[in-house]
Amino acid sequence: MNYSLAQRYELGEIIGSGGMSDVYAAQDTLLGRDVAVKMLRSEMARDMNFRERFRREARNSSKLNHPNIVAVYDTGEETIDGIGIPYIVMERIHGNTLRDLLRNDGPMSPQEAAEILQPVCSALQASHDAGIIHRDIKPANIMLTNTGMVKVMDFGIARALDDSTSAMTQTSAVIGTAQYLSPEQARGKNADARSDVYALGCVLYEAITGGTPFQGETPFAVAYQHVQEDVTPPSERMPEIDLAPTALLNVDAVVMTSMAKHPGDRYQSAAEMGQDLELLSRGSVTQAARAHVAPSQEQFPTQTVGYPETHAAQPQQAYPETAMAGAPGPASAAGTAAGAARALPANAPGAHTAPPTATMAKPSSHLRWLVAFIMIALLVIGAGYAWSVLNDRDSRRQSDNLAQSETVSVPNIIGLERNEAIAKLEEVGLRPEIVDAPDPEIPEHHVVRTNPSVGSQLQRNTTVTVTVSTGKEDTQVPRLVNMTPQEASAALAEVGLELEPEVDEEFSDSIEQGRITRHEPAAGANLPKGSRVRVTISRGPEIVDVRVPSLTGMKWSQARETLESLGFVPKPQFVDSLEPADRVLGVDGAGQMRPEGSDVRVEVSNGLLTTMPDITRKNRSQALNALRDAGWEANESKLLTGEPVDTAVVTDQGLIAVTSPSPGETIRKDQEINIRFYEFNLRALVP
């Protein structure tokens, strides 16, 4: 496709397609850079819902400025065949999507997957801090560039955190991709930042197992499983790789925490998940795994007396939760999912010991009484211990229930004035901790972001870090005059500023075409970092049509000044003429309109012509004077004398009889003149 969009973007081939739009490789002819242009398909553009979704993507993406989010340069709408087609101009990314990598190369190691998805957490946290949830995190929307960068794209269904719109449309169609849909979205409830965490957990699951957590014949069947079914731990579906049981537990803990059914049991922010992914990529123990390791040996007394096998099994049946630390919270399922092979520590209650050997000697009577007494005592102690464990577990459950009932949601205080934000947090029982930081958009003394993020579920009296804007961090505008737009863009980037994509143009006699004549703000002005500078580019000298004047009879010097004042370039052509020297004889194109700056040919007299006077019947001296009076300027040597002319009149002797040229002819002032004198000769009397 060869099409010029907005008289600026030259569209090339299609490099990607989605359900509602196509992406073209393109060239920004103004700034001379490669871009990608995403255009809504014409059949979709007729539907206002699709148009609004596309515009929302443009708005949301343009708000975000993060190295791991595809940058948006420009947006607009082009009328094609009578239909308004919205478009988005984005940075051109060269690479492959995570979906393509998984299809071509199969599942990854947990460390490799964690390295790829940790930057995604960073991008999502930036999005959440800006008040936007993605709502469609999936492998197809995660791009790995040829330079190793990770980019998150497609904010087509993203919404603001405080948007009350349901996660289901009016036709009950699930928003998002079913394989990565959080339970709350599947129920039609509002999504928050933790919904993106759940989706990223599904992506991590697929990256290390090669398959999505749930499969079904229809999207609704898959969505139902997200709500009702427990996911199989990834360690049970991972390819055969050499991982220690603790490493498998590490992977399970991260995945199962991020995919917890209840949002309050997940990571409470993308940043928290990113921290665990960084630990996972280094092979370190994650925070999720620490919450689910087996109890230490000091927690339970060592069994020193052997029980019959039937008794030895009873504590294991009575206290199945001792197989893993039963700490309530994000990844309780991860503990039980690791398998029976790592279910009980060797010294936990109920861990079995060897039964008495069959070769033991039969005890004496008093020994039997002693043994019976000891057995009874041990049974009493065991019963007391069992009661204490059960009572402790009930107490913990009651404590957990009480804690859950005391959890509160972090209110949306983004953009509020500092004191108002503090009051809102204290009103719900949270403790604000203020951190000051500059921000290019949020006014001074107003909230930029919170950690944990808005919507997170926390216990009362938990500290919430509140970042408050100290105002805009300023930088100085450099001088851009006489630069190209590309040079100006680089110069602005060095000081943290951007070039406004839309430029102005003007004629300039002093600045070369295509270079900057001026910019706003001017050099030396202070601007907040991230601001844009608008430039004006030279179109070269302005071309104006001017009427050529008639200058005949004017002196050449005056004519030249007149033409130059009108913007013409006078070109004199000196010709032989009877007119005085430097007198204008004519102007080429006089009376016509010609572009300013054009050459104009002017005929100018060189003054070298004159009229031959009648010098006959004059002596040489008289003839020379007459010639000088007529303007003849040649040396006297050019007055040549020819053969004499016979005469019978004595008085004619010494007078000029004939001249060449003849009297009245036009001559050059420096040319030769031939004269013949009378000579008295008697033979002239003879007829």
Kindly list the catalytic residues.
136
Separation between Cα atoms, residue 423 and residue 26, nearest integer Å: 50
Compute the Cα dihedral for 448, 451, 455, 459 and give only its sign: negative
Helix %, strand %, coil % of the chain (to 5): 35, 25, 40
Q: Is the peptide bond before 452 cis (omega within 30 degrees of 0)?
A: yes
Strands (E), 359-473: 407-409, 431-437, 447-451, 457-459, 463-469
Count of beta carbons in the 10 Å neighbourhood of residue 388 = 10
Separation between Cα atoms, residue 155 and residue 71, nearest integer Å: 11
Quote the tokens at residue 549. 């004047």
Instruction: Tokens 């002596």: give the residue.
Output: 619
CB 52 within 8 A of CB 35: no
CB 294 within 8 A of CB 325: yes
Q: Is 21 exposed, middle or buried (0-12, 13-18, 19+ CB in 10 A)?
A: buried
316 three-class SS: helix
Q: Which helix (H) or strand (E) holds 67?
A: none
Closest CA to 182 of 155, 152, 213: 213
CB 608 within 8 A of CB 562: no
- Following DSSP, what letter does each residue of 328-341 receive, concatenated? -STTHHHHHHT-GG
| CB under 8 A, 24+ apart: contacts of 660-667 | 661/612, 662/612, 663/612, 663/613, 663/614, 663/615, 663/616, 664/611, 664/612, 664/614, 665/611, 665/612, 666/578, 666/609, 666/610, 666/611, 666/612, 667/609, 667/610, 667/611, 667/612, 667/632
518 to 478, 493, 522, 534, 536: CA distances (angstroms): 12, 18, 7, 9, 5
Separation between Cα atoms, residue 172 and residue 627, nearest integer Å: 115
Chain-centre distance for alpha carbon 526: 24
Separation between Cα atoms, residue 356 and residue 511, nearest integer Å: 103
Separation between Cα atoms, residue 495 and residue 432, nearest integer Å: 34
Separation between Cα atoms, residue 201 and residue 124, nearest integer Å: 13
Separation between Cα atoms, residue 52 and residue 33, nearest integer Å: 29
Separation between Cα atoms, residue 193 and residue 162, nearest integer Å: 11
Torsion of CA 380, 382, 387, 390, to 10 degrees: -170
349 to 327, 334, 377, 391: CA distances (angstroms): 17, 21, 17, 16
Q: What is the 3-state secondary structure (H, E, C) of 636-650?
A: HHHEEECCCEEECCH
Chain-centre distance for alpha carbon 209: 33
